Structure 1
Amino acid sequence: MFARVAVASVLALPLLAAAQDCNTGPIQCCNSVEKADSAAGSAILSLLGVVLDDVTATIGLGCSPLSVVGLGQSSCSASPVCCENNSVGGLISIGCLPVVL
């Protein structure tokens, strides 16, 4: 039993380190990540009325916070990212950088 706990703890350390690198909020798990100036990125930003100063920014679409607690239950099979602005109605996150889990 102790061996299982030790192994789980060791496996969780890289996730905890990655989570600490995202100082703008929780790591997000996004269904897709697009450049703001791409066709998909421009379309969604236009529909939401969001104007960005940096048209080369990366945006995450369909994002939700990724918790490091319960590793198996909340793993991200899509795109784990750290974003500067997660407050655009939950539909998009702005200024995203990939996170290696």
Structure 2
Amino acid sequence: MFSKLSVVAVSVLVTLAAAMPGGYTPPVTTPTSNQCCSSVQSSSSNVVSAVAGLLGLDLSGLNVPIGLGCSPITVLGNNCGGTQVTCESPEKEWGSLIAINCIPITL
């Protein structure tokens, strides 16, 4: 049941993202912000495209890892519970939904 619901939810997000006009293409710079992300995926994945589309971001042509559900790591050794990465710091208007150019780190 859960997998069917996931497929439907992703399909709806992809459809919404495809219907939205192209948006702002964020610049790719050197990552400087330690983040804890729920997942890190290719910038060309369907889920990333859907989230980026909802935020008005155009990631087409970018070939960098994208962090989803990210929050800053402020204390060394904290229990991340996700993937520890160094990313470009997410813009405030993106909330914690997406971070650009995420490279795995070990703290």
- Asked if Structure 1 and Structure 2 have the same fold, meaning a TM-score greater than 0.5 normalized by the shorter chain, the answer is yes
Matched, 1:99 2:91: no
* SS of residue paired to 2:90: strand
Confirm or deny: 8 A CA contact 1:30 1:64 kept in the other structure: yes
Alignment of 1:44-55 (within 5 A): 44-52=51-59, 54-55=61-62
Confirm or deny: 8 A CA contact 1:66 1:75 kept in the other structure: no
Runs of 4+ in 1 over 6 A off after TM superposition: none
User: Quick one: distance in 2 between partners of 1:80 and 1:96?
Assistant: 9
User: Quick one: distance in 1 between partners of 2:61 and 2:36?
Assistant: 22
Range with greater deviation from structure 2 (75-84 or 51-60): 51-60
Alignment of 1:65-84 (within 5 A): 65-69=72-76, 71=77, 74-84=78-88
Alignment of 1:1-80 (within 5 A): 24-25=32-33, 27-52=34-59, 54-69=61-76, 71=77, 74-80=78-84
Unaligned runs of 5+ in 2: 1-29
Amino acid at match of 2:97: L
Larger Rg: 1
**Percent identity between the two aligned chains:** 42
Aligned residues: 76
Unaligned runs of 5+ in 1: 1-21
* SS of residue paired to 1:90: coil
User: Quick one: distance in 2 between partners of 1:52 and 1:100?
Assistant: 27
